[in-house]
Amino acid sequence: MAARVGAFEHVFDSFEELKRSVAANDGKLMILVHPRAPSLFRARGSEDYQARLRKTLERAKTPLLVLNDKDSDEDLKLLSEFAQGGARFFSRTQGGGPEPMERWPSLHELLRIAGVKKILLGGRLSTEIDESDRESAEFYSKALGIERASRRRDGEALGLKGAALDEYALRKKPVGACVGGAWREFTLAGKPNAPYFKVRRMPKLCSPFEH
């Protein structure tokens, strides 16, 4: 796994830099989920989104974490051209949805220990999978299976069994909700009366797609 792509450092290999940059920005971290998906940038109406993304990243001093598909190094290199305002990190995602390869609990804990208090969230709102198309449907099924297996392992680690474990593994459909899925996971991190993070979606930095 690459530790660096363009201006971006892999977040799990750059803890001290993450901690310093978060502390210098009052606990804030900007997270973009699949911000440069190819179909997003071909879509009608995406020009305004592209312009807003570029303008914000050129000026932003807040540290940035990009959750990006494992085959999207070129996207990170393009973002590097104008994302130079502050510390830049990335993490690979799996299964077409927003979950990092290291899985949500590991990322939550890393960010918590690094001092992240507030997450500003943007990126792609929808994966636009057409289930009537065989190829898309097969991709959806595979991605959903990966996510459910991952959630079952997380549930087992939490001590869940039987019906409670089944409900935990099946409680959501992550594919088709990149920003929405990430928002849900970051919001639920921690205990109900003591969440790890305050999460705010940035409408101007969300793609034109709605799920």
Q: Sign (positive/negative) of CA torsion 138, 43, 34, 166?
A: negative
CA 91 to chain CA mean position, Å: 8
Which is nearest to 179 in space by CA: 9, 30, 74?
Answer: 30
Torsion of CA 72, 73, 77, 83, to 10 degrees: 70
Q: Sign (positive/negative) of CA torsion 180, 34, 40, 64?
A: positive
Structural tokens at position 69: 């598909």
- Measured from the Cβ of residue 135, the count of other Cβ atoms closer than 10 Å reads 9
Q: Sign (positive/negative) of CA torsion 54, 56, 61, 62?
A: negative
Confidence class for position 56, pLDDT limits 50, 70, 90: confident
Confidence class for position 146, pLDDT limits 50, 70, 90: low
Average pLDDT, integer, range 128-137: 47
- pLDDT at residue 184, as a whole number: 79
Query: What is the domain partition of the chain in residue ranges?
Result: 4-128+176-206, 130-173
Read off the pLDDT of residues 28-48 as tens digits, 9 standing for 90 and up: 999 999 887 555 555 555 677
Which range, of 8-17, 94-103, 106-115, averages the lowest pLDDT? 94-103
Helices and strands of the chain, counted as H and E runs: 8, 9
Confidence class for position 11, pLDDT limits 50, 70, 90: very high
Are the CB atoms for 120 and 28 separated by under 8 Å?
A: yes
- Measured from the Cβ of residue 78, the count of other Cβ atoms closer than 10 Å reads 14
Question: What are the residue ranges of helices labelled H in 43-81?
Answer: 46-59, 73-80
pLDDT at 6 over 60: yes
Measured distance CA(3)–CA(9) in Å, rounded? 6
The answer to whether the pTM exceeds 0.75 is no
Are the CB atoms for 12 and 101 separated by under 8 Å?
A: no
Residue bearing the bigger pLDDT, 87 or 116:
116
Confidence class for position 196, pLDDT limits 50, 70, 90: very high
Residue bearing the bigger pLDDT, 100 or 43:
100
Burial 191-200 (b: 16+ CB within 10 A, else e): eeeeebbebe
Measured distance CA(123)–CA(110) in Å, rounded? 21
Domain 4-128+176-206 CATH class label: alpha beta
